[in-house]
Structure 1
Amino acid sequence: MKTAIKLVLIYFVMQILAALLVMPFAMLYSYAVSGTIDAASVIALAPSMLLGFVGMGGYLWKKGYLKDDGRIWSPVSVAYLGWSIIIGLSTIFLIDFVMSRLSFLPDWMGATFDVLQSGWLGIICISVLGPVLEEMLFRGAITKVLLQRYSPVKAIILSALVFGIFHINPAQVAGAILSGGLFAWLYYRTGSLVPGILIHILNNSLSVFLSLHYPDVKYTSDLLGEPAYWSCLAVAAVLFAVSCKVMNSYRLPATDTTFKI
């Protein structure tokens, strides 16, 4: 756990350092355009996030978490990736149901996400670069270390909890714990980051799309309406169960991972 906590703290330090580096340039740009520096923090948000991602990715690579492992970037197989999409979509729907029951939780990051989604760089950071970096950090580094020190069940649970707490925002924590458990299990089963990255990008991209095109819709039930929503929820539960069974029994090449959820 010490390594997990250390890596998370390093990530936050990277983001702070990136913000400090970007802010002077953002202030100059803001002043040149508008004559004030009032918009500097908004201008700096996406670039500093990107710079922080690059810094953390470089750190993970330099420390050997992302290399010397032939399987970490393996696509596994077409069939496995197909089932990953199915389990990912069903999980997204089921987590949406859980979060709709936790709507009382405050959303501390709503304004920040609105700013990020107002520009193409912020959208790319949320929908693509963020998922890739988080999978490298939380599965390629943290889950890998936890699996070396604890039983698979304990390692996956701890990884999910760390991933959830990392998000800080109360409105995101529960959903992040649930999705983090899935991502950690996929990494344990395959030794690859690709299935988790695929689902993570799908999740975040859908979130951005819905936020931009349906800003007044908070949950899927609001978008679909009650009859259709409950039918889709039932289908999602069935698909989740079926995909879990298939992926648990799927024979992966050159692996002895046999943990079942």
Structure 2
Amino acid sequence: MTEHPTAPETPAHTPLRSVLYMPSSNERALEKAKSLPCDGLILDLEDAVAPDAKPAAREAAAAAVASGEYGRRTVTIRVNGLGTEWHDADLAAAAQAGPAGVVVPKVGSAAEVRALVAALEKAGAPDHTRLWAMVETPQAILDVREIAAASDRLAVLVMGTNDLVKELYAEHVPGRVPLLTSLSLSLLAARAAGVAILDGVYNDVKDADGFLAECRQGRELGFDGKTLIHPGQVEGANTAFAPSPEAVEDARGVLQAWEDGRGSGVVTYRGKMVENLHVESATRTLRIHEAITALQ
């Protein structure tokens, strides 16, 4: 007779369906972000900020984090990359501000991850401030398994798809065939290491249909959410990366059937056999749904 063990406990889920880049040099953007329904924010000190505005942007990002005015959103700071003239000061200021994460572009190796973690800890980063590593070069893709597993402080991989397209001499095309190998390898690495992973941005903010199609693809591949460049993309990402009402209903049905079938041998739900792996998936679906509901 088949035994039906209780579904395993899983860690609390932090929704990251929609993670919006916001230029830290733009005071109005930082203010607007307080009212947006995104799950997370990346207060940017890198691409979105002109060189002469970077010191002021650094101060503004640190002040925004310290303000506590962003509610339950996961607030992070993206620093300038290793080797730039701003990196050290950015990293120190971000560590001291204590956001949920410090996002570092173009992380290329496990050694770099360990060096970044050491620098964060030296600068006094609190325990809750995690490293988010951007994967956006061919070398990073080839080493992504080692990058993802390099430190317990690394919590999220962020795909830098624009840079990947450039470095691969590829093109932005519907369906992203040139990127599928890179996306899949990164997903495998994230899941093996037990870290979250965010899909890259969609560049054409006026192409709603293309954006939604890419969100669906990212969800189907297994991404936890998507990085965004415009507030108008938030709603679509939130919907795409959340369990549908039908999925929630099915998850509850699977768990109820599992509970009702204890000791009976074979368990079925709507004519399909239910095994422990289905129970684990259903449990995860409900954890995600409950975490999203709590945000609202």
TM-score, L = length of structure 1: 0.23
Identify the structure with the greater strand proportion: 2
Identify the structure with the greater helix proportion: 1
Higher relative contact order at CA 8 Å, sep ≥6: structure 1 or structure 2? 1
Q: Bigger radius of gyration, 1 or 2?
A: 2
